[in-house]
Structure 1
């Protein structure tokens, strides 16, 4: 019965979030068991284009490091904000969500050539957090009981946290920059005078994925809009991107 319950909970997670976070966990397990090594996973354009190790285009987004605080921190944030985006802003629009993944991944791979970041998973997480935060500007959050702030400041709070821990902030800056580019092209520019939607989801993705939407899926109450467990919701939170009263 316990196994059935876990299985049911697993398949209640929306599909993109479910398989992305599962792939991240499995990648870490494989490295922990020494079946693969981080040297086989990191982003290296030379090995990709000269030796055709094309799997590195994906594996660089799946590895958050060995089991420990950094892995757990990134995995929780990835799962939380990826899920909230998918089940609120992209519910029934799996293809559009995948298009966001592809757009962000391509920009990060191009930028990674110049900034020499070996693993792009953390930057991808920050991108998801940034987009969610900009689309939920009225959500109030609390950082470990230290201070309160509005959701749009969350990516910058995380950047400051990385700085305090002595980590490089280049990854956070990359995630924020690409998250802002996506948010501007998808939510801001199309609503400007003379604007139009720049990012259009290919029909093949809509054909493959949007016809397979889990119609009976209902978000868990604790997973509805509201930030991480350190935060609290604000009533009448707008749920749709590009709301007219949303700050630009």
Structure 2
């Protein structure tokens, strides 16, 4: 059993393994009171005035209590983050990292801007951890890439990827700018910077699939439905 878990862990791609490890370690550390969540949460004033820039990162790594909700997000992180990195971003680790960086920046920007809007600032001030949002952002991007593939949670619930989750602003922003907008204009605004590409040494990968096919075809019943 232990060996199987070790092999499963070692076979994870680098970004997924690193993120999962950091998230589990920090959440366990907080549960054991080794680390204080007060040193991790997103606080714009502490970031700007006291230069506590680590909060821009650590708020994406803490998933609060180790309960069913924690298991839920670790499942999605381990499974769908891995699927994205191994399939959609296969051989493009730098692009995958840039996607996460873009999503984290959008989510942080939403909280910061929302905190400056009268009558809404109090609501946004309560958003101090964005780890769950970033996880669902990855699930959303994966669902847009694979809209006809059925998803399941621990084998208990099965649902169609295109309908989960709703309203993911960061994920949809990335999907539009990376997949839709380039097809409309021929320009790619989210091209990964050379500096980030230099951090990851990806091998060239040849994928045997027809051109311009990004996801599985719809099932027969979808095609013939009135």
**Band of TM-score, shorter chain:** 0.7 to 0.9
Q: How far apart in 1 are the matches of 2:204 and 2:33?
A: 36
Q: 1:47 aligns to what?
A: 46
**Residue number in structure 1 paired with 2:182:** 190
Q: 1:77 to 1:149 in 2, by over 3 A?
A: closer
| Whole-angstrom distance in 2 between the partners of 1:56 and 1:62 | 10
Corresponding residue SS for 1:155: coil
Contact 1:42–1:56 under 8 Å retained in 2: yes
Match of 2:110 in 1: 111
Aligned length: 203
Given candidates 192, 196, 202, the residue that maps to 1:205 is 196
SS of equivalent to 1:64: coil
Question: Which of 171, 177, 192 matches 1:179?
Answer: 171
Whether 2:143 is the aligned partner of 1:133: answer yes
Query: TM-score, length-normalised on structure 2?
Result: 0.80
* Native 8 Å contact 2:146 2:215 kept in 1: no
Equivalent in the alignment of 2:89: 90
Post-superposition Cα deviations, 1:25-65, rounded to whole Å, max 9, x if no partner, equal 00011112212111111110100111111111111000111
1:149 to partner: Cα distance: 4.5
Residue 151 of structure 1 pairs with residue 161 of structure 2: yes
Report the equivalent of 1:66: 65
1:6 CA displacement:
4.3
Q: What's the counterpart of residue 38 of structure 1?
A: 37
Conserved 8 A contact 1:137-1:151: yes
Show the counterpart of 2:74: 75
2:118 is matched with none
Measure, in 2, the Cα distance between the counterparts of 1:40 and 1:187.
Answer: 37
**Aligned residues of 2:147 and 2:215 also touching (Cα < 8 A):** no
TM-score (norm. length: structure 1)? 0.73
Q: Which residue of 2 aligns with 1:19?
A: 18
Partner residue, 1:160? none
Query: How many angstroms apart in 2 are the aligned matches of 1:150 and 1:238?
Result: 24
Distance 2:5 2:215 in 1: 37
Structure 2 residue runs of 5 or longer lacking an equivalent are 115-123, 219-226
